[in-house]
Amino acid sequence: MVVESGMGLRNLLDVVRSTLRLGPRRGAVVPVPPHQLPDVASVVDALRQLQEELEPGDGVRQFNRMYLQVTELVGSRLSAGYFADPELMERLDVVFAQLYLDAVASDRQGRSLPQCWEPLFERRSVPLAPVQFAVAGMNAHINHDLPVAVVTACEQLGRDPRSRRVREDYDRVNALLAQVHEEVRRSFVRSLPEVEAELSPLLTLVGSWSITRARDAAWVNAEVLRTLKEVPELREEFRVNLCRTVGMASRTLLVLVAEPV
C-alpha cells in the first residue's frame, strides 16, 4: 500500500479499510421516508412512465428526457461494478430522483413547489428552445437537489460524506452527468435553425451555465449542510436560501432570447 504525502488521517483510514476490503465507516442512520422508491430500477420505471405521460411540447418533458438517460446510465454502471460503494451510490440516485419526482407530484396535486423548481414548471408551456428547459432542470436538480441528496443518502446509510470513497464515487456520478448533459445539449443544438442571429444569444445563454461549476458548488453546499447538522434551524435556513437562489438562476435560463423553435 502506498500512502500519499499530506494525506489526512480520515482519508488514510479509508485507504486502509479499502485495502483490507472492509466496509465503509457507518454512523447513526436516519429513517427512510415511506414513499421513497426502493432502487434505481424503480426510478427508471417512474421516469419512463412520466416521459410517456407528458406532452411532446412540455418543457418538463425536455428535462425528464435528459434525466432518464442519466439514470439509465447510472443503473448500468451500478451493475458493472463502476462504483466503490454501490449501495451508497444507488441510494444517492434514489434520493436524488425522489426530490424531482416529489416536485412533479406537488405540481400535479396543486401544492406549492420548491422555489428551485418553480421556474421550470411555471414556464413549461412557453415556446422556448428545448435545451433551455433541459438546462434549467439540471440547474435546479444539481445546484439544490444534489447536495441535499448527498447528505440525506449518507445519513440514511450511516456514511460519512467526508470520506474519500464517497467523494470519489461522487466524482464518478458527476462524470456520467456531464457525459449525458453534453450529448443531449449537442442534440438540442443540432436541431436549431442555422441562423447566426438566432443562435448567438441562445448559445450564449445556455453556455453561461456550467455543469462543472454546478457539481463543484453542489459538493461545497453538501459539506455546509453536513456541518450544520447539529444546528437544524440554521441548516434549513441555508437550504431554503439555496433553493431560492437556484430558482432565480433558472428564471434567467428560461427567457425568450430567439424566435421560438
95, part of any domain:
yes
Domain region containing 126:
37-253
- pLDDT given for residue 28 in this prediction: 57
106, part of any domain:
yes
146, part of any domain:
yes
Between CA 134 and CA 214 the distance in angstroms is: 14
Q: Which residue has the cell 464515487?
A: 169
2, part of any domain:
no
82, part of any domain:
yes
- Please work out, in degrees rounded to the nearest 5, the angle formed at the alpha carbon of residue 141 by the alpha carbons of 138 and 146: 125
| Exposure b/e, 132-159, CB count within 10 A at least 16 = b | bbbbbbbbbbbbbbbbbbbbbbbbbbeb
241, part of any domain:
yes
Query: What are the average pLDDT values for consecutive 10-residue runs of the chain, which has 261 residues?
Result: 49 53 59 95 98 97 94 94 95 98 98 98 95 94 97 96 93 86 73 55 78 92 96 97 98 80 46
- pLDDT given for residue 77 in this prediction: 95
Q: How many domains does the chain have?
A: 1
- Of the candidates 172, 154, 151, 175, the one whose C-alpha atom is nearest the C-alpha of residue 24 is 154
H-type alpha helices, 1-159: 9-19, 40-53, 59-79, 86-108, 118-122, 130-140, 146-157
- pLDDT given for residue 8 in this prediction: 54
- pLDDT given for residue 186 in this prediction: 75
- Please work out, in degrees rounded to the nearest 5, the angle formed at the alpha carbon of residue 215 by the alpha carbons of 210 and 218: 125
- pLDDT given for residue 256 in this prediction: 87
Between CA 98 and CA 88 the distance in angstroms is: 15
10, part of any domain:
no
pTM for the full predicted model: 0.84
